[in-house]
Amino acid sequence: MQPTGAPLCLLLLCQLFPGKVSARQGCKSGRLTSLGGCCDLCPQGYGVAVPCGSSNTECEPCRENGTFSSISSATEPCQPCSRCPEHVPVAEVCTPTHDTVCAPQCAPGHYLPAENGSSSQCLPCQVCGQGYGAVTPCRPTDNTVCQKCPEGFYSEEKSYAAPCLPCRLECNEDEVMIRACSPVSDTLCMDRELQILKRTEGDPRKDHPKKPPLSESEGSASPNNSSEFLPPLPDNSKNIIPVYCSILAAVVVGLLAYVAFKCWNTCKQKKQLAKARAGELGASPEGEKLHSDSGVFLDTHSLQEHHPLNKAHKAEPRLYSALPPPKQEEVEQLLESSSHGKDWRCLASQLGYEEEAIDTFGRGEAPAHTLLSDWSAKEGATLEALCAALASIERPDVVENLTGPTEASSVV
């Protein structure tokens, strides 16, 4: 009797199931495709690109120093390489078959402190400066402990591990101490046989002639010859300083001569200009009206004829400094009281003074007096030159005051 219906289906499943179980047990990956085939394993150094499913497993090689796969798998892809923490050296670099291996301790010059029982990031060790030594050098889990070098010890370097070193107590018999021990340097000794330290007895200290190298016989000379530390020979290069001073002095003298020549040339030109202007003033026609806004007429011919002072000028120029003090005061007051801008400043500019000198005169209480006193001390400071300058700045009132008599001088 053959089974029919549901019993038949159940019988077929029972026959197929043991076959699949036995096929999966014989597959290394333990995975089957949808068609019942065994899924392949990706070996070490390869990762799964396409997992096993309707088709077999597809593998791909892991990238050098990028990804790795340390196991054979039908499901795991390549894993990214790990990175060591900061200041932790790499013991083994990442390869396609194994991950990065970090060193068990920090890099030299760093330590890994413990915080609440767990390790944290590596920190740089404290560096002991010059004059300080490491009592406790930096360790993988402890920072440096520095201490100032006591007397008799020194430290010339900056380090996180070097301790203070003992100083050299004394120099040898054939040496001379140049510098004593300090916290930052050891005792410094120098050989007595050096030429800079040796002097034959009887030689004057101020003269240090150069000696030839000592021979063996000279080196074993009488022990009575004294050796002592002498200062180095004087630097003859300093003798060049007077040469530089002489060159500098020559340059300064040349500049002064140039300035003096320029001043003399300028004064000569000003004197010629003043004479030319005085000649133009004396040749002007009678009753000529000077260029001014005041409308004042000055008869220069009549002034020269009626005033004996002007007649004397024809024979010999009269200096401004020869004027009586009252006359000079009147001229100064006229120049300081002008309200049309044609005052002593305008006259100073006409006489050839620079703006800097004019500003200097203006800082005093009587600038016009200062100006005329300074100008009268120069060569060619005559009344004719002053009148020519006053006429150029259109101040005929001051010209009339200068050329008029002292008793009856008047301001127009």
Segment 39-56 shows an average pLDDT of 88
Written as six digits, the tokens of 234 are 């004087």
Q: What letters, b where the CB count within 10 A reaches 16 and e where it falls short, cover 379-393?
A: ebbbbbbbbbbbbbb
Tell which wins on pLDDT, 217 or 155: 155
DSSP assigned state of 237: G
Amino acid symbol at 297: F
Q: Which residues contact 198 (CB under 8 A, 6 or more apart)?
A: 192, 227, 230
Helix axes 396-403, 325-336, angle to 10 degrees: 170
Whether domain 29-103 has CATH 2.10.50.10 = yes
Q: Where are the domains of the chain?
A: 29-103, 105-192, 271-403
365 pLDDT exceeds 60?
yes
User: CB–CB of 33/53 below 8 Å?
Assistant: yes
The per-residue pLDDT for 313 is: 41
Name the 3-class secondary structure at 319.
strand
Helix axes 383-392, 396-403, angle to 10 degrees: 160
The per-residue pLDDT for 149 is: 95
pLDDT per residue over 177-213, tens digit each? Answer: 888 899 999 999 988 877 555 555 555 444 445 545 5
The per-residue pLDDT for 31 is: 83
Q: How confident is the model at residue 59 (pLDDT cuts 50, 70, 90)?
A: very high
89-98, 215-224, 401-410: range with highest mean pLDDT: 89-98
In words, the CATH class of domain 271-403 is mainly alpha
The per-residue pLDDT for 383 is: 87
User: Per 3-state DSSP, what percentage of the chain is helix, strand, and coil (rounded to 5)?
Assistant: 35, 15, 50
Q: How confident is the model at residue 290 (pLDDT cuts 50, 70, 90)?
A: very low
The per-residue pLDDT for 242 is: 86
Segment 380-405 shows an average pLDDT of 87
Cα 257 to its chain centre, rounded Å, is 39
Written as six digits, the tokens of 408 are 């009856």
φ and ψ of 27, to 5 deg: -95, 130
286 pLDDT exceeds 80?
no
DSSP β-bridge partners for residue 411 = none
Q: Rounded CA gap, 331 and 401, in Å? A: 7
14 pLDDT exceeds 50?
no
Pick the CATH number of 105-192 from 2.20.25.90, 3.40.30.10, 3.10.580.10, 2.10.50.10: 2.10.50.10
The per-residue pLDDT for 27 is: 84
188-191 and 110-111 as β-strands: parallel, antiparallel, unpaired?
Answer: unpaired
What's the mean per-residue pLDDT of the chain?
76
87 pLDDT exceeds 80?
yes
Q: Rounded CA gap, 308 and 299, in Å? A: 15
Fold: same for 29-103 and 271-403: no
Q: How confident is the model at residue 336 (pLDDT cuts 50, 70, 90)?
A: confident
Segment 101-128 shows an average pLDDT of 80
Q: Rounded CA gap, 69 and 99, in Å? A: 8
The per-residue pLDDT for 201 is: 53
The per-residue pLDDT for 402 is: 84
